[in-house]
Amino acid sequence: MSLLRNNVLIFQQTRNFSKNDFAILDGQGQQVGHVETGGSTMGRMFLGARELTVFDGPANPVIQVKDTMTLGRDRMEILDGQGNPLAGLVKRITLFKTRVSVDLMGEEIELEGDLWGFDFRVVGPLGVMATVSRQWSGMGNALLGKSTYVVQLADGMSDAQRAAVIGSVIALDLIREKQSRNS
């Protein structure tokens, strides 16, 4: 799983009315994975993307992100490639800001910073697990629904932690899309 072995991942997103797909590159610009939108086309047209799968090669899923239907707070499930639970993500509304927390098998991690601008950190009990920053991909790409952001993962994390962090970043993108569609 080369995707989970890289400390720098560049997500190049292509979004349209029914898809929210990504190419995932390593720090040298080589593609190490991709994200595909799941679910029916009709469902995606009316409800937006609710299910994303990360692949590190053809037909080799490593992470699944599923939006669970709830009233109120957004909740996402982050699963491994075989559908086993890795983490649960919850968007919490506080008085002045939005908080996103992730339960990674009993380990509480938080997404801190400018979540909607994609300039934030993923912080766990032992410190910063990852930093995420949006990069300008040009006006033409912006008009075509394409954006780029970089995820810098900390050394020493397990594959499960890395997968949960990557899944959390992708889940946040689903939440952002859902929020912009509803406003």
- Which CATH number is 80's domain given? 2.40.160.200
For the beta carbon of residue 118, count every other beta carbon within 10 angstroms.
Answer: 21
At residue 183, the pLDDT reads 59
Please provide residue 169's backbone torsions phi and psi, each rounded to the nearest 5 degrees.
Answer: -65, -45
pLDDT in tens, 56-66: 988 899 999 99
* CA gap 28, 30 in Å, rounded: 6
At residue 67, the pLDDT reads 87
- Three-state secondary structure along 13-66? EEECCCCEEEEEEECCCCEEEEEEECCCHHHHHHHCCCEEEEECCCCCEEEEEE
Mean pLDDT, consecutive 10-residue segments, the chain of 183 residues? 88 70 90 82 49 89 86 83 94 76 91 84 93 73 66 94 94 77 60
Can you give the residue range of the structural domain that contains 8? Answer: 3-182
157 in Cβ contact with 166 (< 8 Å): no
Residue 125: enclosing H or E segment and its boundaries?
none
Domain count, the chain: 1
At residue 182, the pLDDT reads 62
Structure tokens, 78: 């982050």
Residue position matching structure tokens 């990504």: 22
Region for 91 from its dihedrals, namely left if φ exceeds 0, alpha if ψ lies in -120 to 50, beta otherwise = beta
At residue 18, the pLDDT reads 55
Q: What is the DSSP letter of 177?
A: H
pTM: 0.85
